[in-house]
Amino acid sequence: MLYQRSSALFDEAQKYIPGGVNSPVRAFKSVGGVPVFMKSAKGAYLTDVDDNVYIDYINSWGPAILGHTHPEVLEAIQKQAESGFSFGTPTELETEIAKLIVEHVPNVDQVRMVSSGTEACMSAIRLARGYTGRDKFIKFEGCYHGHSDSFLIKAGSGAATFGNPSSPGVTAGTAKDTLLARYNDIEQVEDLFTHNDGQIAAVIVEPVAGNMGCVLPENNFLQKLRALCDKHGAVLILDEVMTGFRLAFGGAQELFNVKADLVTYGKVIGGGLPVGAFGGRKEIMNCLAPRGAVYQAGTLSGNPLAMRAGLSTLELIRKDPNFYQNINKTTETLDFEIAKILNEKNIEHRINRKGSMMSIFFHTNSVSNFDEAAMANHSLFNNFFHQLLEKGIYLPPSGFETWFISDAIKDKEIDQTLEVIRQFEYS
């Protein structure tokens, strides 16, 4: 494929945008090469500025669960746009989508809309701190909750030690309140609670991790976190920015039968437009301004275009009784058939999958935490990525990212993807 226009646009972008991109993973630094600039998307396909066409396994990093520019969602957005883009006032749409979430998601009594997943997670931590009167919280290595200062922390020398800033601009004072544990390691969490008795406001976790590749909870990990939070009076926050309405309509709480105190959302609930949300038990949500003292605000929170796109998307999913069965079957087929091809090629690999999320790790070890994900052959992944890209298959440009399958991917797209993978040359 030719990428002349993309290459020229990237050169131009770097003059005016730091690194030429507005989100780092788009720069292809992990896999090498020049990032591809897209100009349109429809159904299962992306088209770049050089008119190359790709089957899309990113789907805007998750939001396009129905595929791109679904006709009913597009019509809903167009109608809403005719009525106005933004008002800075309450709208009926905000209540409609909040009501839909509350009525279909376990343990969510109220919802506050925001404009991004980062904002949702940042606000949930602030709310948990305000509710408990405590400062510290636990997060897990490899889990991503946005770029708020409190989340950009790397591990210290042990589970009971303070973390360190992982980005310039994050202060040591901020880092000392963020405690890190290994995903799926409940003993480390117990140790953190013991060493910080009465100081931990919350535990925040991706119920299925998506930013170290797709990594699943094991050995009732989520249920054990629930029990520890109950024991120590901490708030359990499930970050469902990726998993919410993707793995099940009731999210991870429904899928894993675990109760959260707060849940964060993004991606699917905006139908592809910028959106985030957090919700939970009424007694906690009542601490938010204007009813309570914990302040949170946003000019474009509940933006009517995003609310209309999200509501339309959720209604389409809800009305199809076979939606999750079908999209999960597509992902299962990809998993099985890709594994079959890689086995025939004697390429060591492991595929992690949950619902319509999946990742390929190029080694045979289990992957249940960030350290194990990092042990994979990422150089081989980069080779795999570029060979598939050249033949019209668009994967996440990092071995630490999750594939997001859309409902628009059908047998034709699966067959084409598998044929390209059969041509993969491993040297």
Integer Cα distance of 28 and 34 in angstroms: 7
Are 21 and 35 in contact by the 8 Å Cβ rule? The answer is yes
Amino acid at 188: Q
Angle between helix 92-104 and 304-319 (nearest 10): 40
H or E element in which residue 264 lies: strand 262-266
Are 355 and 248 in contact by the 8 Å Cβ rule? The answer is yes
Phi-psi region of 55 (alpha: psi -120 to 50; beta: other; left: phi over 0): beta
Integer Cα distance of 43 and 59 in angstroms: 10
Q: How far out from the chain centre does Cα 293 lie?
A: 29
How many angstroms separate the Cα of 223 from the Cα of each of 218, 227, 228, 241, 253?
10, 6, 9, 20, 10
320 included as an active-site residue: no
239 included as an active-site residue: yes
In DSSP terms, which residues pair with 164 in a beta bridge?
154
Of residues 144, 183, 324, 394, which has the active-site annotation?
Answer: 144
Are 377 and 9 in contact by the 8 Å Cβ rule? The answer is no
No. of helices (H) and no. of strands (E), the chain = 14, 16
Beta pairing class for 262-266 and 235-239: parallel
* Cβ-proximal residues to 157 (8 Å cutoff; 6+ apart), any chain: none
Beta pairing class for 403-404 and 235-239: unpaired
99 included as an active-site residue: no
Of residues 136, 139, 267, 354, which has the active-site annotation?
Answer: 267
Pick from 259, 60, 222, 201: nearest CA to 143: 222
If you search the block for the tokens 């440009």, which residue do you land on?
Answer: 397
Alpha-carbon Rg of the chain, whole angstroms?
Answer: 21
- Token pair recorded at residue 11: 């050169």
Of residues 48, 56, 239, 407, which has the active-site annotation?
Answer: 239
In DSSP terms, which residues pair with 235 in a beta bridge?
202
Among all residues, which ones are annotated catalytic?
144, 239, 267
